[in-house]
Chains A and B, each alone.
Chain A
Amino acid sequence: MEFFIQQLVNAISLGGIYALLALGLAVVFSIVGLINFAHGELMTVAGYGLFFAIGVSLGLPLAIVLAIFGAVAMALVIERVAFRPMRRADVTGLLLTSFAVSVILRVLFQNGISARGMPVPMPSALAGSIDLGFAHIGVIPLLSIAATTVSLAALLLFLKHTVVGTAMRAAAQDFAVVRLMGIPANRVVAVAFAVSGVLAGVAAFLWVAQRGSVDPLMGFVPVLKAFIASIIGGLGGLAGAVAGGFVLGTLEVAFQAFLPASILPYRDAFVLGIVILILVLRPEGLIPAQTGKRS
């Protein structure tokens, strides 16, 4: 029983991180139709932010704020420099632009900081586990569940109760109408990128707290997972992205926990097999995005 509860916590915690990442992709995709593969590099920026802030002993809370701030700043910069000039480009053009941004950033990290990984020592308070009576649960998984919950709640409040948030939700369904209502397009898009930066920053903190180091290529695996999660969930829908993240996290943990040792090396094949099955049964994803456009 304890084993099951611990694995459940693992699944929710990993799923939460994937959900945050997928949400970051979905927020941008829903508005500009861009799958931002440089999203992983926003995480790397946040990771280096943590590294430098902890290196000059700023204390963890301030380091996290700085890391998130770094990711938001980078998100706004790449939106302004790379994506705004490409706004009218088609999906392929945008996709290639995001790949280019991703590669350029990675090269900058390698040549400007270091091609080798850097340790990010976390306070030892984060290294322990808490005895809940029926199970021992690690501090970091609990923290990621908490951070995911808070971020999701904050995002929901933002989208429902602010003008920009409402405009973003409307833009996701029909951007042209939103602009006809007099909402400046640039602001909506910039806010979408900023939100994705915040989500990348939070996810980066949780990811780095688990891995203990930061390197230039760090963002690749998470963005791939986020991509898979948002596809399972239904590309462009925010609820779908969250669902997709949790489904992917749960699948990964479940197969790792319960596959017999002899076929364990094929875990990823099993996970992706289920992903394909989901897409066969529901080609639009688990919770298809609502749009005014016809696909």
Chain B
Amino acid sequence: MKLRLALLSLTALSALTFAAQAEELKIGLASAQTGTLAFGDQPSLAGLQMAVDEINSAGGFGGKYKAVLDVKDTRSDTAATVQAAQELVASGINILITPCDADPSIAAGQISQPAKIVTFTFCGTTPTITSAVGDFMFGTYPADNAQATVLADYAQEKGYKSAYILKSPDSAYTLKLPEYFQQVFTKKGGTIAGEGTYSMGQQDFAAEVTKIKSLSPQPDVVMTSAYEPDFPAFIKQLRAAGVTAPVLGSDGIDTPTVAGLGDVVDGVVHSSAGLPSAGTPLDAFAKKFTEKTGKPFDTVYIANGYEIGLIIDAAVKAAGSLDPQGLRDAVANLKDVEGVTGKITYAGTDRMPSRDIALVEMKGGGRSLVKTVTPNPADVPAP
């Protein structure tokens, strides 16, 4: 009798586990937890993990699916990203997340697109990521062309007439974002005082900086989308050479490394997905994050990762199932998802979401919000 009961309960238990497994939402991450992209991928994962924990304990994604994360480190290597994506797709994931850069994201998307798996890039911002892969690929972070538009509008407002553009052909982000800026800036009457190029990881900007220094007249503003370690090297050498022109940057410098440079970055204005200023939802989120993890909220990539959790939750809710096509359509039709940085909309976009962009000024090792804007779609250059 006892044995029977035991057997029966065992069967019941295994049936339960089976049911639970069938109801799982499997999120696979081919993510750069080490290497050059870790600056974006590490905090993004911390945010996503927090969203998954919260949504799971509140009943699951869409109210019924508990999510599990399967994280594979790509070491910021594109070939390793493809391999990780292949393993994850073979293991039967429902959603794939790829690193904070266009190249590995597009490469991984080539694997997940034919398998019809909804794929998000953690914080890749190149607007062509989605069209290069196909209809299952989504961005989350504000796209390069949108950021560039906001920066160019800001330059106009400040009365900057001439700009010096610094770009690097080594990645889409470092090349195209300044070019989008140039397009919008010149279209609205600005002129380009000069343009320079650098090799990523080079760190020696002395020759380039001397060229900027010798420009006469000096440019009203210097614009670049360089990020670390290049941006810290550039700004230090630029200021050391005595160039005082204001500098505009993009979201890649929204990191503690750049803020920690001290007064050399004072006055640098950059675009970002958001900034926790007192009383905003993002501020509340930042406090909650620190409370839960014990770690400082030192970059908005954390919030972006968290919002990917919210986007998936909203999509699963709308789709009502984990059917791949249904899930894809649900994401593509999302409208006004309440994120922590603002509302996120995919409907009517080419899968790079329309959302608020914050302009942020660095000062005294911290950051302050200049303003939050949604760029006018008519001004945003085509990708």
Q: Which residues of A contact B (CB under 8 A)?
A: 2-3, 6-7, 10-11, 13-14, 110-111, 115-119, 121-122, 124, 126-129, 136, 138-141, 207, 210-213, 215-218, 220-221, 252-253, 256-257, 261, 264-265, 267-268
Contacts and interface: CB of A to CB of B under 8 A. Distances in A.
A110 B34 contact: yes
A128 B240 contact: yes
B42 A115 contact: yes
A91 to B, nearest CB: 28
Nearest to B233: A211
Contacts of A257: 207, 210-211
What are the 10 closest A-B residue pairs judged by CB atoms, nearest first? A119-B260, A256-B207, A115-B38, A10-B206, A212-B232, A211-B233, A138-B240, A121-B262, A115-B34, A117-B257
Interface stretch (B179-187, B196-204, B322-330, B373-381): B196-204
B257 A213 contact: yes
A2 B206 contact: no
A26 to B, nearest CB: 21
Nearest to B165: A261
Given A140-B240, A211-B232, A2 B34 contact: no
Given A10-B206, A129-B240, A212 B214 contact: no
Interface of A is mostly: helix
Nearest to A18: B204
Given A127-B240, A138-B241, A267-B197, A117 B261 contact: no
Given A116-B42, A119-B258, A264 B197 contact: yes
Contacts of B232: 119, 211-213
A117 B241 CA distance: 24
B206 A127 contact: no
B201 A6 contact: no
Contacts of B237: 138, 140, 210
Contacts of B218: none
B203 A207 contact: yes
Interface string B281-321: 00000000000000000000000000000000000000000
B298 to A, nearest CB: 10
Contact of A212 (B39, B42, B194, B233): B233
Contacts of B38: 110, 115-116
Contacts of A14: 204, 206
Contact of B196 (A111, A218, A261): A261
Contacts of B235: 212
A17 to B, nearest CB: 8
Contacts of B206: 10, 13-14, 138, 141, 253
B236 A129 contact: no
Contacts of B259: 119
B263 A124 contact: yes
B190 interface: no
Interface string B249-267: 0000001111111111000
Nearest to A220: B201
Contact of A211 (B203, B210, B255): B203
A218 B197 contact: no
Contact of B207 (A2, A139, A221, A253): A253
B208 A256 contact: yes
B39 A116 contact: yes
B35 interface: yes
B55 to A, nearest CB: 26
B214 A10 contact: no
Given A212-B264, A257-B211, A117 B42 contact: no
A212 B236 contact: yes
Nearest to A268: B199
9 contacts: A116-B38, A117-B39, A117-B229, A124-B263, A127-B264, A221-B201, A257-B207, A267-B197, A267-B199
A117 B228 contact: yes
Interface in B161-217: 169, 194-197, 199, 201-204, 206-208, 210-211, 213-214
B261 A119 contact: yes
B33 interface: yes
B36 interface: yes
Given A138-B206, A256-B211, 9 more contacts: A6-B210, A6-B214, A116-B42, A127-B239, A139-B240, A211-B203, A212-B264, A221-B201, A268-B199
Nearest to B199: A268
B196 A213 contact: no
Contact of A121 (B195, B213, B229, B260): B260
A156 to B, nearest CB: 26
B195 A261 contact: yes
B304 to A, nearest CB: 16
Contacts of A218: 229
A212 B258 CA distance: 9
A66 to B, nearest CB: 19
Contacts of A11: 207
Interface in B87-142: none
Nearest to A207: B203
A121 B260 CA distance: 7
A167 to B, nearest CB: 36
Contacts of B35: 110, 115, 217
Looking at A14, A129, A138, A207, which has the most chain B CB atoms within 10 Å of its CB?
A138
Contacts of B214: 2-3, 6
Contact of B236 (A2, A6, A110, A210): A210
A215 B213 CA distance: 29
Contacts of A221: 201-203
B279 interface: no
Contacts of A126: 240
Given A138-B206, A256-B208, A121 B240 contact: no
Contacts of B258: 119
B257 A7 contact: no
